[in-house]
Amino acid sequence: MTTFDVIAFDADDTLWHSESLYAAAQEEYRRLLAAYAETEVIDRVLHKTEMRNLPAYGYGVKGFALSMIEAALELSQHQISGSEVQQVLDLAKRMLSTEVELLEGVAEVVAQLAETYPLMLITKGDLAHQEAKIEQSGLKPYFRSIEIVTDKTPQSYAALLARHHIEPLRFLMIGNSLRSDILPVLEIGGQAVHVPYAITWAHEHVDVPPDQQGRYHELERIGQLPALVEQLNH
């Protein structure tokens, strides 16, 4: 008997690159707005705008694009030109059309674990864009179920597990974000594996409470995951 009924994966920056795409876009955005403000001010206003808009726009490129336009209006004191706004929109379109690039070792790990465990993919963001990335990744056949959620909270995880009749203690979540993938799962009694990504959105920086360490695991790279799962089974 295995320890886990289901092993679940986050998608962005756990299975494929995402944050580096946003980082490159933000660098281009800084150049576009350089005539209106210093880099530090641009970053601060854009981040503040994103945080304010999350409840309305949610996560993903489309919400990011709207926040970039809103922040540009504020930074330029509404002096930004129509052609400059078009450049922001073109930047967002390029982000949406960028091909999926799997992280090193992902294809092998997912295929190996799928031989023994039911796998689930849990991601948040724009529905159409996330569905397109899942199709492009080539990983879709390995997942028994795919869940695209508005946000990842203890309540959303609990509802998801209840719908699939999964006991939290027999649920293992793998992700790069402590805020979204790890802490909510630990809070409802599940187990979680943190695989940090080289770049992390400031919004995702949190600490793991000491009393959660027993069900919390951290790996340097996803290629180490099968060995950890095997260890946990014994």
Q: Give tens-digit pLDDT for 21-66.
A: 888 999 999 999 999 999 999 999 999 999 999 989 888 899 999 9
DSSP helix/strand/coil, 17:
coil
**pLDDT, average across residues 73-90:** 96
Residue 205 above 60 pLDDT?
no
Confidence of residue 92 (pLDDT cuts 50, 70, 90): very high
Q: Record the pTM.
A: 0.85
Q: What is the pLDDT of residues 105-131, one digit of tens each?
A: 999 999 999 999 999 999 998 889 999
Residue 202 above 80 pLDDT?
no
Q: Where are the domains of the chain?
A: 6-16+101-233, 19-97
Task: Count the alpha carbons within 13 Å of 225 in the hemisphere toward its beta carbon.
Answer: 28
Q: What is the pLDDT of residues 134-159, one digit of tens each?
A: 999 999 999 999 999 989 999 999 99
According to DSSP, the residues that pair with 217 across neighbouring strands are 193
Q: Identify which of 188, 164, 177, 172 has the alpha carbon closest to the alpha carbon of residue 229.
A: 172
The pLDDT of residue 204 is: 47
CATH architecture of 6-16+101-233: 3-Layer(aba) Sandwich (3.40)
Confidence of residue 18 (pLDDT cuts 50, 70, 90): confident
**Domain range 19-97, its CATH number among 1.10.150.240, 1.10.357.10, 3.40.50.2300, 3.40.190.10:** 1.10.150.240
**DSSP letter string over 93-162?**
HHHHHPPP-BPTTHHHHHHHHHTTS-EEEEEES-HHHHHHHHHHHT-GGG-SEEEEES---HHHHHHHHH
Residue 203 above 50 pLDDT?
no
CA end-to-end span of the chain = 10
The pLDDT of residue 44 is: 96
